[in-house]
Structure 1
Amino acid sequence: MAVPVLGTILITAAAGCGGAPPPTRAQAEAIAAVRSAEAIGAQEQPQAAYHLELAREQVRSAERLIQDGRMQEAGGALMRAKADADLASALTNEADTRNQAAEVREQVETLEQEHRR
């Protein structure tokens, strides 16, 4: 008799939650993407910093939506947060690559000038 009662309680509890479950995986991925962008210095590059801040805002928004029980909207906000954080990382990497290329160009020009002497 205890088993059917327990099953009824679990079904009732699950039905009472309503809607989709919290998007914990999407939340973890978005937060990890933000931390990754921060770790490579996205806040130092103007374009990347803009997208990093957008990602942070979307994570905060998603947390409020989760508290309000609006799981699908929270999932969308977290997808946007991850996309913005990934873009911030890509922009940072691009800027770093451009800076390294400029340094190599300068070194090549210096070597060419020295070779001409």
Structure 2
Amino acid sequence: LAFSSISHLGWMTVIISYNPKLTLLNFYLYTLMTATVFLAMNSIKVLNLSTLMTAWTKVPSLNAVLLLTLLSLAGLPPLTGFLPKWLIIQELTKQDMAPTATAISLLSLLSLFFYLRL
């Protein structure tokens, strides 16, 4: 989740000068999703990745919530985390910052790779 924090901070840093309200929306949603991940991991008693892999059979519903929250952090389209990223890309495009929007979108795929590995 440390890499996730750095990634989301990058998204917020890029857009803060153009649309501070969008930065706050991104921050609030990121905080909510991160808190959900930590609470789910605490409830499952996960201390490392191997424990997470074996916990799936113990509490499947809580693990499903954890999976959906991690995918939302990655910014997959039907989930909550996609909205701020989409709005940031739209705002950057309006501000003639299409290369920046393209770069952060491609770097977001790297984040998705790490989330899917979990």
TM-score by length of 1: 0.45
Structure number, greater radius of gyration: 1
